[in-house]
Each structure stands twice: as C-alpha cells, then as structure tokens.
Amino acid sequence: MKTTLPPKGMRDFLPREKEIREYVMNEIRGVYRSSGFEEIETSYIENVENLTGGDGGENTKLIFKILKRGEKLNWSDAKEEDDLTDLGLRFDLTLPLVRFYSNNKNELPTIFKAIQMGPVFRAERPGKGRFRAFTQCDIDIIGDESNLAEVEIILTIARALKQLDINHFKIKINDRRVLKALVTGAGFTEAEFPDIAITLDKLDKIGKEGIVKELEGKSYDKTRIEALMTASDALKEKGLASIESMCLDGYENLKEIIEVVEALKETYDIVFDHTLVRGMGYYTSTIFEIEHSDLGYSIAGGGRYDKMIGKMIGSEVPAVGFSIGFERIVDLLMAENKLKHKQTKIALIYKDGNALTSVMKMSADLREAYSAVSVYKAKKKLGKQIEQLKKYGYDGVAVMDGELEVNLFDQTV
Amino acid sequence: MKTTLPPKGMRDFLPREKEIREYVMNEIRGVYRSSGFEEIETSYIENVENLTGGDGGENTKLIFKILKRGEKLNWSDAKEEDDLTDLGLRFDLTLPLVRFYSNNKNELPTIFKAIQMGPVFRAERPGKGRFRAFTQCDIDIIGDESNLAEVEIILTIARALKQLDINHFKIKINDRRVLKALVTGAGFTEAEFPDIAITLDKLDKIGKEGIVKELEGKSYDKTRIEALMTASDALKEKGLASIESMCLDGYENLKEIIEVVEALKETYDIVFDHTLVRGMGYYTSTIFEIEHSDLGYSIAGGGRYDKMIGKMIGSEVPAVGFSIGFERIVDLLMAENKLKHKQTKIALIYKDGNALTSVMKMSADLREAYSAVSVYKAKKKLGKQIEQLKKYGYDGVAVMDGELEVNLFDQTV
C-alpha cells in the first residue's frame, strides 16, 4: 500500500492549525499594509541557473531541482547534475524579489515597499522542528538608501509582533562594515573577512573559546586572533560609542536608527550587538535580528543588501529586507492557545421525514444569524452525535423537529 | 545576463493583481466557511509514486518531478526516468486530500467538509491563458453518501460566485451511471465505456459528426455508434424524465438534487445535461460543471468520487468535490475592474530639516486615522513626486511643513 504520510520534512495542516496559520498571516499582512507596503507574489519555481548563480550561500546546496521533461531529458548523455534539470523551487523570497523588481521596475514606484508571504523549499536534513517547506513573511524597501528604510522596516516588524500579542523581544542590530573594521583592525585582510565572519557567526553556539579554536584550526595567525578577541571584548564593554572612530559610516547609521527606534518603541528593546553576523553573503551594511525574550531564539531577521539588484540589472539600487520566521510564531501561538474563536458555528440536524428542500431553506435562514451553518442528518444516537459536533468545534445545534430552536452549548466549556 | 522573467508558463503578480487575487480568495473562503467547511492545507510536494499511481488520468503525464538528491541520485545506472526522481509537485488538490484524509481520519469528524485553496502545477505546453502553476479553490464533503452532499456543495459554490458578483451562470449536471446506461444501451460493453466517454467529452469541440468520425476511427461498430447517437438525440429532446427507466439510481439522485437546487436558486439555472462527461476517471456518479452565461466557458467543476479513498485505505468512504477555476474568476474581475478600494492610503512627506524621530511619531499618529501610511522624503520636484504617488494608488498626502494638513486627492478621479 502506498504511504498516506506527506513526504519526509513536508507537512499537512489540520483545520485547527490551518486556522491559526491563516490568522497569523492576516494579522501580519494587515500591519504590513498599514505601513504602506504592497503585496506581490513571485513564482514558486525559478530557472535553476537563477537559483544557483547568486548570493544564496549555503542555501544553494539545498535546492529542490526539477527534472527536465520530454526529449530535453537525456540522462545517458548527462555529464553533470545540471544537465538533468532546468527549473528549481525557490529557497527564499529575496532572490525572486530581486528578479521581480528587475523585470518590473518600470511599473513600480521609485521607492517600492514590497510584501511577500509564501512558502519556500529547502532540502535540509529533516529533524525536529526543521521542515523542508516553510512559510516566510517578508517586507522589503527597494530604492531608499537612507536610514528611513531601516527604521520603517524595523518599526513595522515590531508592530506586527505586537499585533500578535508578542510584546517582549529584543532587536539586535549591527553593521557589516563595523564587523569588517573590527576584523581588519586586528590585522586580517579584507579577503579573509567573509571566512572569519562565518566562524564569528557561531559565537552563540561554540562560545569564545570555540571561536579561537576554529580560527586556529583554519591556520590564521595567533596574534591576530588574540587581537580580534581583545578588540571584541573592549567593544562589548564600551558599546556603540567606541566604534565612532573605527567605522564612521557604520557608527552614524546605527546611532540614528537606534535613536529613532528607541524613541518610538514600547515594550521591546533595541541593542547594538557587534557579534551579530547573519549568514547571507549579500548583506552590505545594517543587519538585524529579533530575539524572543522568554524563549531566547530568533523570530525575525534581515538587513541591507545594496549590491544584489545591481548584479542583475547593471545599475545599483539600494534595498533593505526583514523576514518574520512564520513557523516559530505559529508554534508560539499554538502552544499558548491564544487564538480567539470568532465564528459561531451551528449544526442543523434534520430527520428522515424532512424534505431536503425545506432543510436547505432553513440552513439559509440560519446563516443570516450565525456565521457558519452546516447541515447533518440525524443519527440514531442523537445525543452522541451532538456530543461529537461539540467536540469538533460547533457552538450549538438546531434539530429540525417541530418548532426549530437553536441550542447553544455552554459558553464556559 | 541571467533572465529576469519567471520560467515559461509561470507568473509573478504585481500589487494590483495580487490585491484582486487576495480579495477573491478571501470572499470565496468566507462563503465556504459560512457553510461549515473547514480549511486544511496539504503539502505542495508529494511522493512521486503517489502522484503517478492513482486516477489522475492525463494529468499524470504533466507532473513536475523533482530530482533525487545526494548519493541517491545515480543517473549513469538509471534505467528509466523514475530512477532519477523521488518527489513531484501536486497536479490537483483531490489526490492530496485523499491522502490527507486517509492519514488523519481518526482526528476528523465522520462527515468532513474540507476547504483547500492553493497552487497546483502542471507541465502543460504553455499558451495564452494556460499556465503551469495555477490556484484551485476546492470544497469536498467526505463521508456522506446522500444527496445532501451534492446539494450543499452546489449551493455553496453558487453562493461563492454570487458573493463575487457573478450572478448569471448555468449549473450543468449529469450522472456517470446515466452516461454508462446510454452507452451500454446502444450495445457497447462496460469495458468500452471509459474510452467512449473520452470521445463523448469532445462534443463541445468537435460536434456530433466529429464524435461519429472519431468513434468510427476507433473501429467501433457502426450500428452501435448510430444507436448511441439516436438514443442521445432522443434523450436531449425528452429530458430528465426519459432516463427514469434507463438508470433508476441516477435518475432519482438527479431528480432530487435538481429539485432542491431549483427551489433554493436565485439568479442562476440548473439543467440536466446528458452530454456532460468530465475528464477525470475517478468520478463514480454525479458530475457537474458551471458555465458562465455571457462568456460561455466553464468556471467550476466537480463530482462524486466514492471509490478513491477506498483504494487508499481499503474500506470505501463516499466523497463529493467541487472546484472553482480561480484564475478565470480573477481574469473576469480584472477585466471588469469591479474591486472596490477599501484602504485609504496616505503618504507622509518630510523634508531635510525634520528629525526622523518626529517623522516616525507623526506617521504613527496618522495611522490612527488612515488605514495605510507610508513615509517618503521630499524630492526637489515635490509636485511631480505627489503626482507619482497619486498614480501609484495613494489617496492623499501630508507634507511636514509647519502645520500638518492631510490633502486627500479628488475622490472622483
């Protein structure tokens, strides 16, 4: 017999879970829209060379590739994997956005504020809480090189979280240029920076000693590693002010962004964190991440990527993006069971003697008063049937038996 | 340079089109829910043997198959295409629903009323108005063998269309058993029925003469073909009543369903059409289709498939489904430009002298009064900038310049 499970790492969603997912999507979408962002949709499937040729970093190793079809598929002559495939599933929403913007820029406003909400696919090794298809909820501002873009995008994401009753979180912010000044200041070359950044990104997981060990393992000069760690410790102690002389542009941007968010924020914090790296290679300056205060893990992340569109269209267009980790938010709300049930669902139960026409007319009438009405034929054990309807989320029943009366279940149960 | 277009047959959606798509989705979803249907989501990706092994008919030739990954992929030893692939993209929502129900039936009510709205993928030859990824909006009732299921599903779909201001349409209804009685009554065998049904399905396209020609081309007996056409003509003239003696079950079901819908319907019609075939092999009795009265093409279709779940779980469970052709509805509404703009979008324009903090505070204040507020820095040519904002859908501007005043554009434009 064929399996009835979805493929490994993929999921189906039962009604209760789907309702929460739709609720979360709509609340986020509402906040995004209220800040003037406009929703677009990009193709789930991309030409495979668009996916593999960009700045996708590790994600390009995780592409679900689609087999060529018909006579285009000729595997006996294939020399490499790419001869077998022409399309692939998108692994994030940024790369499709860049392609979309490049293709449609003449129809879009000079400063384009985009919403994208949809699934992305990564052939990761499946594991607990790690899925091969998951939803992202992104906003991006394209065409604005000023700090306004960062500020709008940070405040909008914060409002979206508050809208979902997530009030206590910490926005960590850094600038890739600060990070680079720190690394080159310790004597490393600019060319070595990306590789060192990959190691520094692991600070949370492997700690300071782990970082030193890994850099030594990569055969970097011990004096430089020591200088880097000393500078990093000093920076941690002295905070934002200490980077003023080190990286002027980075300092001034961070200072203004933090000041404005500080003045507008309510229940959350924004902090400069010079250890924040963010994996993607395409970030050029500001990077940020939101950490849930109680759970301690990241629920949103993003940054500025001023070079990515230029690589596609030949002229530079600045861009900033921020993405909410939708699945983690849903898990949070599922666990807290906070969702208010907004519908009043009524089951209309009819008996053998009732003509279907009058049953359907009655259900249409009931629908005027109740938000959802569903018709069922009475079973022999009516009491048991009603108990089951209650269990499956109905708020009341109306049995067609003489005078019709709607019996709402006890609201307190 | 890499292409900026989406792959052949795939689409991106600009804000205006995405807004209409979301609007249509939500209106349909609302009506479905109000009839007691509950939304689920199934995986976009299925194990490839689940896709190829079922009743998918022609669609199984159009599957986008996903290349195996890592050491599982060994194309030099591959004997057939299926050795290269383990997963595929779903081509409809019915097959995943059957798998979903089989997997979760213990957690679902005895009669399960499902909503599924999402993309499906078919590697069709791309052409005008024919896409390789498109959205379907399905409802299905699983577990009810009575006519109530057909009636609820037909009336719900009709209400969804009316909700979208589509009022004039014709519901065509038939029963596969009537069709079979017609074919076997003309002397063909039961085994020949599916093949003959494939030809009959083309009546709209190739006409009566085309049917005769195609059946003759398939070497069927001329006398039988003639008998079939004569019986078909007679049936057309006499209508529903003439099938009473020919196919009792089919007749009684059709009679009750049509009677009930007739009694409840408003601006649309329901008609028995014995030439309706519907392509999918899995339909067992009632089949239906909705034709737009002015445009003359089908905008929804479905039927009863009582055997499909049984093939997966071993015990028979009745089921009926109906699917709205979402893309056609969207095209219709785009062409009619009927969508009411519900948001009031305001652009807040600031100047060099304004501190970003006070700008952002002002935008938060404005958001209390207007549904969407977006911040822009003033350009040198302010008048031109405002004209552009108007063009891109803003309803008014507020320029930060002394006393703040919101200027709404002329509502009549």
Long-range contacts of B368-372 (CB under 8 A, 24+ apart): B370/B344, B370/B345, B370/B346, B370/B396, B370/B406, B371/A33, B371/A34, B371/B342, B371/B343, B371/B344, B371/B345, B372/A33, B372/A34, B372/A35, B372/A36, B372/B343, B372/B344, B372/B345, B372/B346
Q: Contact, B85 vs A65, CB < 8 A?
A: no
Please state the three-class secondary structure of B117-156 as a single string.
Answer: EEEEECCCCCECCECCEEEEEEEEEECCCCHHHHHHHHHH
Whether residues A387 and A256 share a domain: the answer is no
- What pLDDT, on the 0 to 100 scale, is given for residue A33? 95
How many residues comprise chain B?
413
Q: Indicate which of B12, B74, B97, B264 best probes the interface with A, i.e. most A CBs within 10 Å of its own CB.
A: B12
More confident residue, A52 or A290: A290
On whether residue B8 sits in a domain, the answer given is no
CB < 8 Å to A361, chain B? 263-264
Q: Residue B336: pLDDT above 60?
A: yes
The order of strands in the sheet holding A133-142 is A38-39, A112-121, A133-142, A319-325, A298-304, A286-292, A169-175, A269-272
Find the mean pLDDT for residues A210-234.
93
Q: Residue A89: pLDDT above 90?
A: yes
Q: What are phi and psi of A393, to 5 degrees?
A: 100, 5
Q: What are phi and psi of A360, to 5 degrees?
A: -70, -35
Instruction: Give the closest of B69, B81, B360 to A155, CB-based.
Output: B360
Q: Residue B86: pLDDT above 50?
A: yes
On whether residue B2 sits in a domain, the answer given is no
Q: Contact, B178 vs B274, CB < 8 A?
A: yes
Least reliable range by pLDDT among A38-47, A69-78, B180-189, B258-267: A69-78
Q: Contact, B298 vs B289, CB < 8 A?
A: yes
Q: What stretch of H or E contains A399?
A: strand A396-399
Instruction: Tell if the CB–CB gap between B4 and A75 is shorter than 8 Å.
Output: no
Give pLDDT tens digits for B46-58.
Answer: 999 999 876 667 7
Q: Contact, A32 vs A40, CB < 8 A?
A: no
CA gap B272, B275 in Å, rounded: 9
More confident residue, B297 or A382: A382
Q: How confident is the model at residue B413 (pLDDT cuts 50, 70, 90)?
A: very low
Give residue A392's domain range: 345-408
More confident residue, B125 or A285: A285
Give pLDDT tens digits for A114-124.
Answer: 999 999 999 99
Whether residues B269 and B160 share a domain: the answer is yes
Number of domains in chain B: 2
Q: How confident is the model at residue A201 (pLDDT cuts 50, 70, 90)?
A: confident
- The residue from B316, B336, B356 where one domain ends is B336
On whether residue A6 sits in a domain, the answer given is no
Whether residues A170 and A266 share a domain: the answer is yes
Please count the other Cβ atoms lying within 10 Å of the Cβ belonging to residue A81. 14
Q: Residue A207: pLDDT above 80?
A: yes
Q: How confident is the model at residue B15 (pLDDT cuts 50, 70, 90)?
A: very high
CB < 8 Å to B36, chain A? 345, 347, 372-375
Instruction: Tell if the CB–CB gap between A47 and B313 is shorter than 8 Å.
Output: no
What is the residue-averaged pLDDT of chain A? 91
CB < 8 Å to A119, chain B? 44
On whether residue A283 sits in a domain, the answer given is yes
CB < 8 Å to B35, chain A? 367, 372-374
Q: Which of B207, B42, B72, B250 is nearest to B241 (CA)?
A: B250
- What pLDDT, on the 0 to 100 scale, is given for residue A223? 94
How many residues comprise chain A?
413
Give pLDDT tens digits for A138-164.
Answer: 999 999 999 999 999 999 999 999 999
Instruction: Tell if the CB–CB gap between B34 and A371 is shorter than 8 Å.
Output: yes
CB < 8 Å to A357, chain B? 259-260, 263-264
ipTM: 0.92
Instruction: Tell if the CB–CB gap between A375 and B146 is shorter than 8 Å.
Output: no
Q: Residue B342: pLDDT above 70?
A: no
Whether residues B318 and B378 share a domain: the answer is no
Q: How confident is the model at residue A412 (pLDDT cuts 50, 70, 90)?
A: very low
Q: Residue A76: pLDDT above 90?
A: no
Query: What residue has token string 């949370």?
Result: A204
* CATH code of the domain covering residue B282: 3.30.930.10
Q: Residue B23: pLDDT above 90?
A: yes
CA gap A43, A230 in Å, rounded: 47
Instruction: Give the closest of B40, B43, B132 to A7, CB-based.
Output: B43
Find the mean pLDDT for residues A41-55.
90
Instruction: Give the closest of B69, B121, B377 to A148, CB-based.
Output: B377
Q: How confident is the model at residue B73 (pLDDT cuts 50, 70, 90)?
A: confident
CA gap B409, B386 in Å, rounded: 10
Whether residues B279 and B328 share a domain: the answer is yes
Q: How confident is the model at residue B334 (pLDDT cuts 50, 70, 90)?
A: confident
CA gap B108, A392 in Å, rounded: 8
Instruction: Tell if the CB–CB gap between A43 and B146 is shorter than 8 Å.
Output: no
Instruction: Give the closest of A5, A15, A96 to B103, CB-based.
Output: A5
Whether residues B257 and B217 share a domain: the answer is yes
Q: Indicate which of B154, B327, B374, B389 best probes the interface with A, i.e. most A CBs within 10 Å of its own CB.
A: B374
On whether residue A10 sits in a domain, the answer given is no
Find the mean pLDDT for residues B27-41.
96
Whether residues A237 and A353 share a domain: the answer is no
Whether residues B81 and B144 share a domain: the answer is yes
Give pLDDT tens digits for A307-361.
Answer: 999 998 999 999 999 999 999 999 888 887 666 656 789 999 999 888 999 999 9
- The residue from A304, A336, A368 where one domain ends is A336
- The residue from B306, B336, B366 where one domain ends is B336
Find the mean pLDDT for residues A276-304.
90
Whether residues A330 and A359 share a domain: the answer is no
CA gap A333, A165 in Å, rounded: 9
Q: Residue A191: pLDDT above 70?
A: yes
CA gap B49, B21 in Å, rounded: 32
Instruction: Tell if the CB–CB gap between B49 and A2 is shorter than 8 Å.
Output: yes
* Nearest-CA distance A39 → chain B (Å): 5
Instruction: Tell if the CB–CB gap between B12 and A43 is shorter than 8 Å.
Output: yes
- What pLDDT, on the 0 to 100 scale, is given for residue B241? 87
Whether residues A150 and A177 share a domain: the answer is yes
* Nearest-CA distance A183 → chain B (Å): 31
Q: Residue A169: pLDDT above 80?
A: yes
CB < 8 Å to A15, chain B? 38-40
CA gap B280, B282 in Å, rounded: 6
CB < 8 Å to B1, chain A? 312, 314
Instruction: Give the closest of B34, B146, B312 to A4, CB-based.
Output: B312
Instruction: Give the closest of B64, B75, B108 to A78, CB-based.
Output: B75
By C-alpha distance, the chain B residue nearest A64 is B66
Find the mean pLDDT for residues B189-204.
89
- What pLDDT, on the 0 to 100 scale, is given for residue B316? 94
On whether residue A7 sits in a domain, the answer given is no
Give pLDDT tens digits for B97-138.
Answer: 999 999 999 999 999 999 999 999 999 987 777 899 999 999
- What pLDDT, on the 0 to 100 scale, is given for residue B272? 95
Instruction: Give the closest of B22, B38, B75 to A75, CB-based.
Output: B75
On whether residue B9 sits in a domain, the answer given is no
Give pLDDT tens digits for A371-403.
Answer: 899 999 999 999 999 999 998 889 999 999 877
Four-residue CA torsion sign, A237, A242, A248, A254:
positive
Instruction: Tell if the CB–CB gap between B374 and A35 is shorter than 8 Å.
Output: yes
Whether residues A267 and A399 share a domain: the answer is no
On whether residue B4 sits in a domain, the answer given is no
What is the residue-averaged pLDDT of chain B? 91
CB < 8 Å to B147, chain A? 356
Q: How many CB pairs under 8 A join A and B?
A: 263
- What pLDDT, on the 0 to 100 scale, is given for residue B281? 77
Q: Which of B53, B138, B47 is nearest to B97 (CA)?
A: B138
CB < 8 Å to B47, chain A? 2-3, 7
